[in-house]
Every structure is written in C-alpha cells, then in structure tokens.
Amino acid sequence: MILEKNTPSGNGIRPWIIDTTLRDGEQAPGVVFTAGEKYRIAQLLAEIGVNELEIGYPAISSEERENIRTIAALHLPVRLTSWARASWDDIEHARSCETEAVHISFPVSPLYLQLMQKDYLWVQRQLQELVPKAKKYFNIVSVGAQDATRTPYELLKTFVLDAEACGADRIRIADTVGIATPISVLDLVGRLQSVSPTALEFHAHNDLGMATANAFTALEAGCSAVSVSVTGLGERAGNAALEELAVALLLNNQFQCKIDTTKLAMLCKTVSKASGRPIQDQKPVIGKSVFQHESGIHCAALLKNPLSYQPFLPSEVGRKPHELVIGKHSGSAALKHFYHTRGISLTRDEASRILSLVRRSADEKKRALTAHELDEIYAIRSQKG
C-alpha cells in the first residue's frame, strides 16, 4: 500500500493533491456533468499530474456507479477514490465501483450530530465497525470529520485518535462552511499532528475567500494532503482552486509539486464549459484580466521585463502572452508599442498628442479602446497634420 506523505525530498516537500471536481465540484447548484465530460475531465486531471481523484458518490444512483466504473476501467495513472457516508450500504456501493480508495464522511460537530439526531458514541461505533470492514476491500480508507472547524478541539482530537485506532489511513479535516483562516489552520493542524501520526488532509471551502490560502497553509503546517477542485467549483462559494494552489506551490521553493501548470488553462476551460460556469475576468491564474495591463507605469516596465508586474509568465499556465490595453491610464510607451506593431513609428511629440486624444475618447466611452478605434484616431490625427 502506498500512502502519501508530506515529507521533504531532495528538492522540497511533496504535497499530495486530491481533486474533487467530479464529486464536490458537481455538487455546485445546477451543475451536471455528462458521462463523456466526466471521462474527459478525469483524463485531463491525470495528465496534468494530480495525485488522486475523488470521482463520485456511488450511492447517489446506478448511473453514477456506472460512470465511476467506466473511469476506473481507463486505468489512469492516478489514485481513484469513491465518497461515502458513514453507512455500510454506501461503502458497498463504492466497493462495486472498483476504486482503489474510499472516503467515509462522519458528522463530528455538535451541530451536525444534532441535525442527524446522533451523538458521538454513534460516531465511535461507526468508526469501529466500518473502517476495519472497508479495509478488507480498499487499499486506502480515508475518513472525514465534517464541520471540523466548528468542532470543539477536544472532540475533534478524540475523533482523530479514534480514527487512528480503527486503522484509518488518512483523516480529512473539513472546513465545511469555509470559516477557517490561515492562522487558525496553522494552529489546528499543528495541534492535531502532535497527537497522531496518521496522515491529515485539509478540505477547504471558499465562503470567506480564503480557501486556497487555507489549503496552502495546511500544507505548510504539515498536512499530507489537500483537496481542491478545478476553478474552485463547488457548493456556495466553492472550494480551494486547483489552478491557484498549483501555481502557488510552483512559485514556492519549499514544495516539489508534479502538476504540469502549462495545461491549467485548457483544463479550466474544459471544466468551465462542462459546468456552465463562466470564468470571471478577474479569476486568479485563468481570468481574462490576469494578463491585461493598462497603467502607463506598468506597461512601460512590462515592455522591459514581463515579470515586473506579473508574478509568473502566461506561458507557465498555458496562456497567451500578456496584453497591453490602451485606455485612460495608458502611457506613451504602450501607445508607441501598439502603433509599432502596426508598422507605425511615433515620435515623442506625436505619441503625446495622440495620447491626449486616446484618454479623452476612453473617458467618453468609459472603457479601453479597440484596435480599430486606435487606427481611426491615428488616421484622423494624420489628416490634420
């Protein structure tokens, strides 16, 4: 049995990345993937170098089980996991799907126990019954603490110790409603690691906009694994975004991550189309605006060094080169560069005069100008001499 470890290698820490786009991602309201879309997404995730795919919830339907079995039959070079509630019927359905691993989710917080009309003694009994039985059929058995970040520490600690005693291979600490902060994650992971050697996974949600930061912090704190989804797709505000975490790991010399970031743009575009969720312009890493620049100071610097106002190059995530947008905030350097690409060389005085026209027009239109509009401005200016 190969178990992930967030341990130092010769070139840095190797984090274990679990993608849950096909399970938690599809739980986003109104999102339904076709069978073909699921196969394609699974293939792309395997190609990009994700370590593990949580590919579905078998108990939901016979169609879901068939889709999972078909993906399993592809023999992708990645661990496949089925998701289950703390129910033997759910685990039996997962067993029929022939995935290498199963994740069993348990309610842990007082609120969730109350909602299910259970107490912690029921959780203990389920752990003791289900985990050993599941280990007879799966190479890896992961257990999850639902609503862990709203669970009193002593109760969560007890769950971790009970899960370890029952033979769980990994324990998921779920920030189910996204209330964690990096400092709280750092503290919680550190405390739990001190009581058990069992591998920990952090599952972040983005309700406060901190999912990726929390996932990254969990790895820094020593978590063996984190779960993410493509574009952050998921319930409510979504999950930690695979593409954001992958680039954060790429830029940090502390980690050795095998994800091929040059394929991120294609992967995100595929998931966006399949989910019917457009990628927002300002979405980190993959949004349209990420590599667009208008500020005169920024554009002048970018023409000298593309890393001056970009943390990474567009090519590193499979994007086209950066774009200099001409508008109200543009400077003469960007304007001269634009016209140079049209075969027109401007003097400093010419650039200054045209720039005033550009800024006036952008003010009136309340937007940047198109190439056609800039050509017209040059033609009008030339006619006037």
Residuewise pLDDT in 10s, the chain (385 residues):
345 555 555 467 899 999 999 999 999 999 999 999 999 999 999 999 999 999 999 999 999 999 999 999 999 999 999 999 999 999 999 999 999 999 999 999 999 999 999 999 999 999 999 999 999 999 999 999 999 999 999 999 999 999 999 999 999 999 999 999 999 999 999 999 999 999 999 999 999 999 999 999 999 999 999 999 999 999 999 999 999 999 999 999 899 999 999 999 999 999 999 999 999 999 999 999 999 999 999 999 999 999 999 999 999 999 999 999 999 999 999 999 999 999 999 988 888 989 999 999 999 999 999 999 998 998 887 766 5
Whether 130 and 162 map to the same domain: the answer is yes
What's the CA gap between 145 and 203, in Å, rounded?
A: 10
AA identity, residue 32 = V
What's the CA gap between 132 and 141, in Å, rounded?
A: 9
Residue ending a domain, choose from 275, 301, 324 = 275
Residue ending a domain, choose from 243, 275, 307 = 275
* Residue whose tokens read 């070079």: 77
Residues spanned by the domain of 85: 11-275
Q: Can you give the pTM of this predicted structure? A: 0.92
Whether 227 and 337 map to the same domain: the answer is no
Whether 317 and 233 map to the same domain: the answer is no
Whether 110 and 145 map to the same domain: the answer is yes
AA identity, residue 92 = E
- Give the H/E segment covering residue 173: strand 170-174
Residue ending a domain, choose from 222, 240, 275 = 275
Is the Cβ–Cβ distance between 292 and 322 less than 8 Å?
yes
Question: What angle, 0 to 180 degrees and rounded to 10, lies between the N-to-C axes of helices 35-48 and 62-72?
Answer: 40
* Number of domains into which the chain is organized: 2
* Residue whose tokens read 């005069």: 353
Among residues 235, 228, 231, 234, which one has the least CA distance to residue 284?
231
Whether 3 is covered by a domain: the verdict is: no
What's the CA gap between 257 and 11, in Å, rounded?
A: 10
What's the CA gap between 229 and 226, in Å, rounded?
A: 10
